[in-house]
Structure 1
Amino acid sequence: MTKLLYTGDWHLRGTTPRNRKDNYKDSIKEKLLEIFNLARYRQVEAIITAGDTFHTPEVATGVLLEFADLIAEHCPVPLYTTAGNHDIYGYNLDTYNRTSLRVLEKIVPQFEVINDPAIPKVISGPGGAVQITFTPYSADIDRNGYGYCPGVENDDVLKIHVAHGMLLDHVPPFDRFTLIKDVKTTADLILTGHDHTGYGIYERADGKTFVNCGAICRLSASQSEITRKVEVLLIDIKDSKFDLELIPLQSAKPGEEILDRSAIEQEQERQYAMEEFASLIQSTTGEKVMVDINSIVESIAEHEGFQPSVVRIALEKIAESQESLKA
């Protein structure tokens, strides 16, 4: 049998989110060690992750080296991932070479980042070969269903496609997402991250299977984060078929123990005030209000009919400004 291990977002960082009661960095380290031990015990050929390896495009050098040493020393197999929205500046893949993710790829031998859907990684094992492709986060993902199909065709092997996009089994209260039922893909198994809660294993009537097992981290103290299981996915390939198993991480403590809800009411009040303000503007102008700078630029460009090249330059300038502020 050919085996792979899949995890959701990691969001490596050196500081502890305000909603956490414990030491976040130590908690993530425990989970990574358990994942690497599980990979060794289950004899998998590779580990795959969904992107958002880091919480910010650039982390402190000490934090980067600490996690690099842990992965290099303990990860027993090749690890493949792609760039998530938190890994790059301003949704702009052109900034990838200046990020901590790129440094991690350079200094950890078994860590590889694939940001082109047309570049397949073929893994062979006792159960046969499987092709894995990746779509990173970008300004294009979840626009007209983009992001969930390999950029290369190969009918001779099973195909897994990994995407850092907002693929969901339900309609959320925001605009940029893709519904599982609407996805057109040639892949047999589609693995996604980005949404931390996840939707588990979703088998569509046409035989396509979709999985988001959720992030290995808990960054907020929402009720869904408190109650959900932190899981990874074991993919067992035999006779050209997938056998999927969700495995809870034993190192993940109950949400009630590590998440502090005292700031939730404050956040809810802030969110309510923002929604009221947006509603007031919308009632006056009749236009939908957005607070994300990239979405604002894209909306203006669409309304004014600007060329895609102009939009790209604008987003690049925003990314450069965000990078300068970080520095």
Structure 2
Amino acid sequence: MSDISTAWLKPYLEGKEREKMRLLYFTDTHLRGNTPQSRLDNLPETLKSKLEEVVKLAADLKVDYILHGGDFFDSPSPSLAVSGDLLECFRQFSCPVYAISGNHDLFGGNIHSLNRTLLGFLHRLGFIRLVLPGEKIYLKKHDTVLQLTGQPYHYEIDQRDPHLDYAVKKENADLALHMVHGMLLERPLPKEANFTLIDRIKDTEADITLCGHYHSGLGIIEKEGKIFANPGALVRLSNDKQEMTRRVGVILVKLEGEKPVCEFIPLISARPGNEVLTREEIEHRSDLRIKLANFIKEVRQNAEFERMNARRIIEEIARGEAIDKEAKEEALKRIAWVEEELRSKRVREIR
């Protein structure tokens, strides 16, 4: 990333002399060693390029601390062979890294499994510093004291009283910053999901609440003098339409007197969505569902259920009709799965 000009960073550097503290926040890196079907590029190489740019940004912007909002890894126990190069990028930060754990960092999303995960191991080594539930960390620079707290992912997040996870008390500090790996939104999602609305926790005493988990991001929202932000995931794993157009970036937190400032900085290394994401698999599955539905319709119209079992129905109709081979195979797979479930259920009942 050394060939990237830093001239465009000038607006973010203005006023550095009077600022008391700077922090760089990003989230949901999902470090992994393979590339999902939704990507057209080599994802590990893309991740490495992005992390190298973040390291360079941190140096150029002269930040004092790095903050990570969870889902450091895509699985709780990735192989060292595939994560080594990516972890080397984190080692190059010249300032402390504070983080919280996300659901992908934990076995079964269980916070009690943290000590058995690679993220927990890195914390014990001092590679990164995990902020644990209920813990208050005080960061100081000159005459500014920042209270840093964090709420990692757990089973009941965005389901129980949100104040238990999102609201904090500010004590013995000039400013308070709270990180949460939860689905904080400004307005409800149209689809079913667990989430928390900003209006429900705007009475928090945290001056800044930084979230992750929701890959599409929240942006930077100010309500009643408080900042709520989520830049979105550093990696785009989904190929939905929102991810195709989303800009990938980080948030620069600048503490100036009593009023903090948050600014979104897009990553130059993050290519446009249509260059790295493909919707071919989604469209293929949609087409397959249509073919499968038509196949089932043919089964219902032509088969004599009383005299044939499901497999014979499929084989007979497939021979007699111009049925798509892939639809036929999918139907057989589903029947096999049902049969296996029924067989297992009968065995359990016998026992």
Q: TM-score, normalised by structure 2?
A: 0.72
Aligned residues: CA RMSD: 1.9
Q: 2:62 matched to which residue of 1?
A: 43
Structure 2 partner of 1:166: 183
CA distance in 2, matches of 1:4, 1:271: 47
Report how far residue 61 of structure 1 moved: 2.2
Number of residue pairs matched? Answer: 268
Mapped pair 1:177 → 2:160: no
Q: Distance in 2 between matches of 1:93 and 1:54?
A: 15
Post-superposition Cα deviations, 1:137-182, rounded to whole Å, max 9, x if no partner, equal 00121122131123x5415320000000011112111241101111
Structure (1 or 2) with the greater helix fraction = 2
Secondary structure of the 2:122 match is: helix
- Identify which range, 152-161 or 221-230, moves more after superposition: 152-161
Assess, with a 3 A threshold, how the Cα gap between structure 1 residues 267 and 84 changes in structure 2: closer, same or farther. farther
* Contact kept in structure 1, 2:147 and 2:173, CA below 8 Å: no
- Where in structure 2 are the equivalents of 1:4-23 lying within 5 Å? 4-23=23-42
CA offset at residue 272 of structure 1?
Answer: 9.4
- State the SS of the aligned residue for 2:102: coil
State whether residues 64 and 100 of structure 1, in contact with CA within 8 Å, keep that contact through their aligned partners in structure 2: no
Q: CA deviation at 1:126?
A: 4.3
Provide the residue aligned with 2:154 in structure 1.
Answer: 138
From the superposition, tell whether residues 153 and 14 of structure 1 become closer, same or farther in structure 2 (CA, over 3 Å): same
Larger gyration radius, structure 1 or structure 2:
2
**How far apart in 2 are the matches of 1:97 and 1:202?**
35
Q: 1:272 to 1:141 in 2, by over 3 A?
A: farther
TM-score, with structure 1 as normaliser: 0.77
- The percentage of counterpart residues that share the same residue type is 37
Q: In the TM superposition, what are the counterparts of 1:164-313 in structure 2 within 5 Å?
A: 164-172=181-189, 173-183=191-201, 184-204=203-223, 206-268=224-286
| Cα distance in 2 for residues equivalent to 1:219 and 1:271 | 22
> What is residue 157 of structure 1 aligned with on the other side?
174
For 1:180 and 1:15, locate their aligned partners in 2 and report how far apart those are by CA, in whole Å.
35
| Residue pair 1:203, 1:209 contacting (<8 A) in 2 also | yes
Aligned twin of 1:317:
none
Distance 1:106 1:64, change over 3 A: farther
The answer for the alignment partner of 2:16 in structure 1 is none
Unmatched 5+ stretches in structure 2: 1-18, 292-351
Any unmatched runs of 5+ in structure 1?
A: 274-327
Paired amino acid for 1:86: H
2:137 to 113, 118, 121: 121
Name the CA distance, whole Å, in 2 between partners of 1:244 and 1:165.
Answer: 19
Quote how far apart the aligned CAs of 1:135 are.
Answer: 0.0
* Structure 1 runs, 4 residues or longer, greater than 4 Å off: 267-273
CA distance in 1, matches of 2:49, 2:76: 23
Residue aligned with 2:28, SS: coil
